[in-house]
Amino acid sequence: MHPRATLAATILGSSLAFIDGSVVNVALPALAQSLKVDPTDLPWTINAYLLPLGALTLLGGALGDHFGRRRLFHCGLSAFTLASAACAAAPTLAWLLAARALQGVGAALLLPNSLAILGGAFGGEARGRAIGSWAAAGALAGALGPIVGGWFVDTAGWRTIFLLNLPLAAIAGYLSWNYVEERKESQRAAPLDTAGAALATLALGLLTWSLTKASEPHAGQAEIWSAALLGCALLAAFLRLEGKLGDRALIPMAMFAAPAFVGLNLLTFFLYGSLGGLLVLLPFFLIRIGGWLAIAAGGALLPVPMAIGFGSRLMGRVAARHGARMPLTLGAGLVGIGLALYGRIGTPGFSYWLEVFPPTVLVACGMGACVAPLTTAIMTSVDPDRVGLASGFNSAVARVAGLVATALLGFVFARQESAASFMSGFRAAALIGAASAALAAGSAFWFLGRQTHAPTTHV
């Protein structure tokens, strides 16, 4: 066994997925100009990635349990590498979207299996340290991605942000092939819920398409409503199938019998929907309206991951002592106040330090208060044998929230005919995000008991 090489391989592999979840945000203006993308189609450059990632993460983990985690890690790494090269070479938007979707499939295999590899390779305190290092590296990758990517966008063009994945993937592949042991669950494991995964993916795809299409001024209402209704029908069929499958389902419905689990996932949806919209829209706003360089726009959001990194240990102790209800309610409330303050941004000659930095710090502090208590509360809201499934589902909910938020941003991107019109849309999006964060705070306050915290045996 080679613990350091195993840790390095999983960190590098999962970091690819974290980086591509954030780096494209600062490249949107350059990408739109290069490929002559219609403003209403811009959300698809992000959602083509988030859709398979959100819908297939749980299936990716189950496939690893059945066929081998290292094998599925390699499959995800290969798909992601091939897709990254295709993104860099994309001559048209359609080509780029297909490649981004393949990246999302690769990430849906990489993330759960990299974490499962760590869980199998380490034990006791060493496992906690390894998973902590994995999570910290992912947060760092997500933080540095927009800054490093912004520099490459400014100096060498947007295509280089995808080429950066290739050497990292090569190193991860070499380490995992030579030093990571293969592990999988019993051969008598329950059958894979591939039908559920297919229904979830189709339903999310149709609902996302209808939301994005609705932002187009001359879109046909009949096709939008038809897609939305079909998406809802497929979603209902998915829920019915999951109910019939019981414990063999991709998402066992029995988990939703716990009010805390329901409330935590509602909080995740509303909170990460707000954050996802901000992470996409603010850099675009700073570049397009403020005339900022991409690297500066990426750095403007640096307080968010910094606050999450520094605040997680403190808020983890607070949640362990007083329960998750208080930090989650107050944290989501701070995010809502910060987002509402973005609505005060005035003319295109706005002041960053007076109008952008203060609300960004509030959002950062709010997220710093929420991330660790949310993770702990999710793990203790279900039976111990379902902790992994609950965590995976909660991660998928966060991705789907970003997917929905980005689809709705099409209404803002469509208002680029003038700076005043775009800023009006930006303010409206900020207020909607604030309302969503307020719903997240309400979900925590309403559904969580005063003593929702983790017994030490479950952490």
Q: Would you say residue 172 has pLDDT above 70?
A: yes
Average pLDDT over residues 84-88: 97
The pair of three-digit structure tokens given for residue 399, joined into one six-digit string: 């991705």
Number of structural domains (the chain) is 3
Q: Are residues 170 and 202 in the same domain?
A: no
Q: Would you say residue 139 has pLDDT above 80?
A: no
Domain end marker among 183, 203, 238? 183
How far is the C-alpha of 330 from the C-alpha of 442, rounded, in Å?
10
Q: Is 292 exposed, middle or buried (0-12, 13-18, 19+ CB in 10 A)?
A: buried
Question: Are 403 and 208 contacting, i.e. CB atoms less than 8 angstroms apart?
Answer: yes
pLDDT of residue 177: 93
Q: Would you say residue 360 has pLDDT above 60?
A: yes
**pLDDT band, residue 459 (cuts 50/70/90):** very low
Q: Would you say residue 83 has pLDDT above 80?
A: yes
Average pLDDT over residues 410-418: 87
How far is the C-alpha of 149 from the C-alpha of 22, rounded, in Å?
9
Nearest to 339, CA basis, from 261, 440, 240, 262: 440
Question: Are 295 and 25 contacting, i.e. CB atoms less than 8 angstroms apart?
Answer: no
How far is the C-alpha of 287 from the C-alpha of 297, rounded, in Å?
7
For the stretch 183-229, pLDDT in tens is 776 554 567 899 999 999 999 999 999 999 888 877 788 999 999 99
For the stretch 1-44, pLDDT in tens is 688 899 999 999 989 988 888 899 999 999 999 999 988 899 99
**pLDDT band, residue 434 (cuts 50/70/90):** very high
pLDDT of residue 89: 97
pLDDT of residue 190: 60
The answer as to whether 389 is a domain residue is: yes
CATH number for the domain that contains residue 448: 1.20.1250.20
Question: Are 291 and 453 contacting, i.e. CB atoms less than 8 angstroms apart?
Answer: no
Helix and strand numbers, DSSP H then E, in the chain: 18, 0
**pLDDT band, residue 53 (cuts 50/70/90):** very high
Quickly count: other Cβ atoms within 10 Å of residue 33's Cβ.
10
Higher per-residue pLDDT: 282 or 123: 282
Q: Are residues 133 and 224 in the same domain?
A: no
Q: Are residues 103 and 221 in the same domain?
A: no
Q: Are residues 23 and 56 in the same domain?
A: yes
Average pLDDT over residues 78-96: 97
- Report the 3 state secondary structure along 160-187: HHHHCHHHHHHHHHHHHHHHCCCCCCCC
How far is the C-alpha of 68 from the C-alpha of 57, rounded, in Å?
16
Q: Are residues 230 and 326 in the same domain?
A: no
pLDDT of residue 456: 36
Q: Would you say residue 95 has pLDDT above 90?
A: yes
Question: Are 260 and 448 contacting, i.e. CB atoms less than 8 angstroms apart?
Answer: yes
Kindly list the distances between the CA atom of residue 265 and the CA atoms of 258, 378, 446, in Å, as whole numbers in the listed order: 11, 8, 13
Q: Would you say residue 458 has pLDDT above 50?
A: no
Question: Are 85 and 162 contacting, i.e. CB atoms less than 8 angstroms apart?
Answer: yes
Q: Are residues 223 and 272 in the same domain?
A: no
The answer as to whether 4 is a domain residue is: yes
Q: Are residues 307 and 205 in the same domain?
A: no
Q: Are residues 259 and 379 in the same domain?
A: yes
Higher per-residue pLDDT: 144 or 334: 334
pLDDT of residue 216: 82
Q: Would you say residue 380 has pLDDT above 90?
A: no
Q: Are residues 177 and 312 in the same domain?
A: no
Question: Are 315 and 368 contacting, i.e. CB atoms less than 8 angstroms apart?
Answer: yes
State which residues form the domain around 216: 194-249
Q: Are residues 125 and 230 in the same domain?
A: no
Quickly tell me which residue has 């991107």 as its tokens: 413
Q: Which residues of 334-364 are buried (b: 16+ CB within 10 A; e: fewer)?
A: bbbbbbbbbbebeeeebeeeeebeebbebbb
Question: Are 101 and 50 contacting, i.e. CB atoms less than 8 angstroms apart?
Answer: no
Kindly list the distances between the CA atom of residue 200 and the CA atoms of 180, 193, 231, 366, in Å, as whole numbers in the listed order: 32, 11, 9, 31
pLDDT of residue 56: 93
Taking the whole predicted model, whether its pTM rises above 0.85 is answered as yes
The answer as to whether 189 is a domain residue is: no
Per the prediction, the chain carries an average pLDDT of 89
Residue 41: DSSP 8-state: G
**pLDDT band, residue 455 (cuts 50/70/90):** very low
The answer as to whether 37 is a domain residue is: yes
Q: Are residues 207 and 313 in the same domain?
A: no
**pLDDT band, residue 457 (cuts 50/70/90):** very low
Quickly count: other Cβ atoms within 10 Å of residue 202's Cβ.
17
For the stretch 271-315, pLDDT in tens is 999 999 999 999 999 998 899 999 999 999 889 888 887 887 788
Domain end marker among 210, 231, 249? 249
Q: Are residues 272 and 409 in the same domain?
A: yes
pLDDT of residue 248: 87
For the stretch 333-356, pLDDT in tens is 999 999 999 998 877 678 889 999
**pLDDT band, residue 426 (cuts 50/70/90):** very high
Domain end marker among 125, 157, 183? 183
